[in-house]
């Protein structure tokens, strides 16, 4: 049985010493909570993106648009241009939609509960929990891929992903208390990012190795178990490059939904496996 109080105490003590310095984060013990806008913006940017890649974008966005109301006033095309390179462009559209609702419907102030955050456009369970915990110190269960991996190893969960997700979420909930919920969420994130890595976990440096069932068995790297993904289909199509006499290239606006939604691109045919 993984000792919950002992693990919480050890991991929070490690976080107090080793917390990563990130531009959207307040250090442990600072005595103030981070700006909800910055927490929300960072969480949206970090979906499917690494910290080193997202950080320059975060710094640029917060310099150009320091408040959610500033961001809400940005024209769609300007926001999409600033987002270019972060990928998953539906996030940018949701980002702008959410900012506009917060600015117009909430006076530029983010709701401070999970339920209130979930009601915003584009805010799912993970982002709502992360903002509630980190920005408002609510006892929310913040579960991303890092946390799933940590739980799978602590409890040596044999069920493969994605079927194991409900079980891993329930296990993570057992560690959430009213005591420092924001720091706890970030401590788990830091543990997964720096110690309990997907490959070559640094078990010898882990502050909570005493509570890890997979580590005790010497096979932490084999968790979480995963079902082999099906091969991705290859699709083919035609791309046209149309130039006028001045050398200008014709572009089209892609549909809002689908690959590179709302972005400018070259005109193409449909794509198929044929």
* Percentage of residues of the chain with pLDDT beyond 70: 99
For the chain, the domains span 234-274
Stronger pLDDT, 139 or 270, i.e. the higher one: 139
Is the pLDDT confidence value at 133 over 80?
Answer: yes
Nearest alpha-carbon partner for 89 in 152, 22, 39, 44: 44
Q: Which of 2-6, 24-28, 78-82, 127-131 has the lowest mean pLDDT?
A: 2-6
**Of the listed ranges 27-31, 52-56, 197-201, the one predicted with least confidence:** 27-31
Contact 140, 133 (CB under 8 A): yes
Q: Which residues are catalytic, by number?
A: 43
Rounded mean pLDDT, 217-246: 91
**DSSP H stretches of helix in the chain:** 4-18, 36-46, 51-64, 68-72, 76-83, 90-105, 114-118, 125-136, 145-154, 165-173, 181-194, 213-216
Q: What are the phi and psi torsion angles at 114 (to 5°)? A: -60, -45
- 239-264 pLDDT, tens digit each: 999 999 999 999 998 887 777 777 78
pLDDT at 209 over 80: yes
Identify the CA nearest to 53 among candidates 78, 94, 96, 83: 83
- Decide: 161 and 227 in contact? Cβ < 8 Å: yes
- Residue 184 — pLDDT band, cuts 50, 70, 90? very high
% of the chain exceeding 90 in pLDDT: 78
pLDDT at 265 over 80: yes
pLDDT of residue 1: 60
What is the spatial distance between Cα 191 and Cα 172, in angstroms, rounded to a whole number? Answer: 14
pLDDT at 242: 96
- Give the number of other CB atoms < 10 A from CB of residue 137: 18
Q: Based on the number of CB atoms within 10 Å of its own CB, is 65 exposed (0-12), middle (13-18) or buried (19 or more)?
A: buried
Instruction: State the pLDDT at residue 26.
Output: 92
Residue-wise pLDDT tens digits, 71-117: 999 999 899 889 988 887 788 889 999 999 999 999 999 999 999 99
CA-to-CA distance for 57 and 171, rounded, in angstroms?
Answer: 34
Does residue 217 carry a pLDDT above 90?
no
pLDDT, one tens digit per residue, over 139-165 is 999 999 999 999 999 999 999 999 999
Q: What does the pLDDT read at residue 274?
A: 82
């Amino acid at each position: 049985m993984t000792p919950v109080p002992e693990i919480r105490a050890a991991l929070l003590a490690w976080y107090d010493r080793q917390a990563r310095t990130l531009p959207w984060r307040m250090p442990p013990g600072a005595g103030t909570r981070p700006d909800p806008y910055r927490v929300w913006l960072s969480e949206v940017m970090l979906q499917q993106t690494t910290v080193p890649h997202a950080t320059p974008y975060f710094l640029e966005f917060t310099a150009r648009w320091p408040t959610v109301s500033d961001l809400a006033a940005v024209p769609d095309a300007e926001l999409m241009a600033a987002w270019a390179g972060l990928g998953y462009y539906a996030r940018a559209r949701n980002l702008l939609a959410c900012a506009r609702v917060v600015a117009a419907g909430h006076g530029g102030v983010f709701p401070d509960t999970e339920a209130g955050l979930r009601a915003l456009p584009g805010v799912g369970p993970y982002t709502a929990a992360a903002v509630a915990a980190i920005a408002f110190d609510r006892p929310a269960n913040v579960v991303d891929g890092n946390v799933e991996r940590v739980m799978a190893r602590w409890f040596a969960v044999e069920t493969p992903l994605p079927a194991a997700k409900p079980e891993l979420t329930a296990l993570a909930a057992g560690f959430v208390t009213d005591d420092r919920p924001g720091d706890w969420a970030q401590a788990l994130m830091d543990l997964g990012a720096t110690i309990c890595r997907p490959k070559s976990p640094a078990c010898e440096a882990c502050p909570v190795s005493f509570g890890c069932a997979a580590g005790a068995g010497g096979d932490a790297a084999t968790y979480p178990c995963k079902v082999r993904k099906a091969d991705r289909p290859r699709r083919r199509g035609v791309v046209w490059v149309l130039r006028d006499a001045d050398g200008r290239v014709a572009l089209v606006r892609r549909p809002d939904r689908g690959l590179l939604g709302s972005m400018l691109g070259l005109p193409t045919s449909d794509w198929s496996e044929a």
